[in-house]
Amino acid sequence: MGAQVEGWDTESADRAVAVLKAVADPSRYRLLWALSGAELPVSALAELLGAHVAATSQHLARLRAAGLVTSRREGTRIYYRAAGPGVRSLLEEASLVARTASAAEAPAAEATPDAAPATQERPARAPRAVGVRRAALGK
């Protein structure tokens, strides 16, 4: 049997992964960053993203379901804000980890500062043989 990490059970891990999945979208990350500093209506958030209000509302619903934002209604407007200071901390930590990871990859690129930036190409995938699996299964 595997050892359990102190403070982590399956339910806690599932909740943490749900939070990370909710943040794992550039638009939602940007929304959270804005909402960690101010309370804003959907219309202002849509403008910030350059997106339709309906699309922004869907992002906000996902963030609300993950417990990352709260809302209040004032007349016909709904205002959103980060659920607490932990949201900003999460975003700052993610940014720090991203910068650290980028810095770890940077030394090779920095060795030749005058060189044009290298593009990352995905390795070519081997062509799939259609029907091979069925033939192998005798179907």
Per-residue pLDDT of the chain (139 residues; tens, 9 = 90+): 455 556 678 999 999 999 999 999 999 999 999 999 999 999 999 999 999 999 999 999 999 999 999 999 999 999 999 999 999 999 999 999 999 988 888 665 555 444 444 444 444 444 444 443 333 334 4
The whole model's pTM is what? 0.67
CA angle (18, 71, 11) in 5-degree steps: 20
* The two structure tokens encoding residue 68: 């990352």
- Residue 78: in which H helix or E strand, if any? strand 77-82
Helix, strand or coil for residue 115? coil
